């Protein structure tokens, strides 16, 4: 069943769209404070579709993500009580409490690690504001952590180029179904 190859082909068409950069900026900005989809899902195919623009896409993603992080910081600083029910409903409260503890202990390094890893960055931006983290280390840690992550993704896609795109098109259905199988197996084992 070739479900994933059709989705992959469609994603590559969208990645080449003339307004794709604007959507990437919007997703990057909103993901840092409220949106659930990480910008990597747009950055990777866009960098793969147009490898000559990969560094631009990485820079755009980094800058708009950090700007969105500042919105998350402001939410945590000025309106935490308003977003607390949302964090609870998404089962992020434990992650938020862990982030607060990390800020108390490591400060700059906590935001740097959150920016680079797949840990939901929005939790850390909100927690940084709620913990009243000093703004300059927050911005620097975010720029470095997010920048490393997004330039790594863009660089790998640029390096792979057209050959990687063609190879992925051949393997995407197998990779997709394997991922589904692993998720279902994991759910059945751990649920």
pLDDT tens for 103-147 read 778 888 888 888 887 778 888 898 899 888 889 999 999 999 999
pTM (global) more than 0.85? no
SS3 content of the chain, % helix, strand, coil (to 5): 85, 0, 15
Give Cα separations from 92 to 40, 98, 117 (angstroms): 21, 10, 16
- Residue 172 dihedral angles phi and psi, to the nearest 5°: -60, -35
Lowest average pLDDT, out of 143-147, 154-158, 161-165, goes to 161-165
- CA 137, CA 124: separation in Å to the nearest integer? 13
What is the model's pLDDT at position 7? 64
């Amino acid at each position: 069943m070739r479900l994933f190859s059709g989705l992959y082909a469609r994603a590559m068409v969208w990645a080449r769209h003339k307004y794709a950069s604007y959507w990437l900026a919007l997703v990057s900005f909103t993901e840092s404070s409220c949106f659930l989809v990480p910008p990597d899902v747009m950055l990777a195919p866009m960098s793969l579709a147009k490898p000559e623009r990969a560094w631009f896409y990485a820079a755009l993603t980094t800058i708009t993500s950090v700007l969105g992080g500042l919105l998350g910081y402001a939410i945590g600083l000025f309106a935490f009580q308003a977003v607390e029910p949302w964090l609870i409903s998404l089962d992020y409260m434990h992650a938020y409490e862990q982030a607060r503890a990390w800020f108390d202990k490591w400060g700059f390094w906590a935001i740097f690690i959150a920016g680079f890893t797949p840990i939901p960055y929005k939790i850390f931006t909100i927690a940084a504001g709620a913990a009243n983290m000093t703004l300059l280390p927050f911005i620097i840690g975010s720029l470095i952590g997010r920048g490393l992550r997004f330039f790594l993704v863009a660089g790998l896609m640029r390096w792979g180029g057209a050959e990687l795109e063609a190879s992925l098109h051949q393997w995407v259905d197998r990779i997709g179904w394997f991922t589904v199988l692993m998720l279902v197996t994991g759910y059945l084992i751990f649920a």
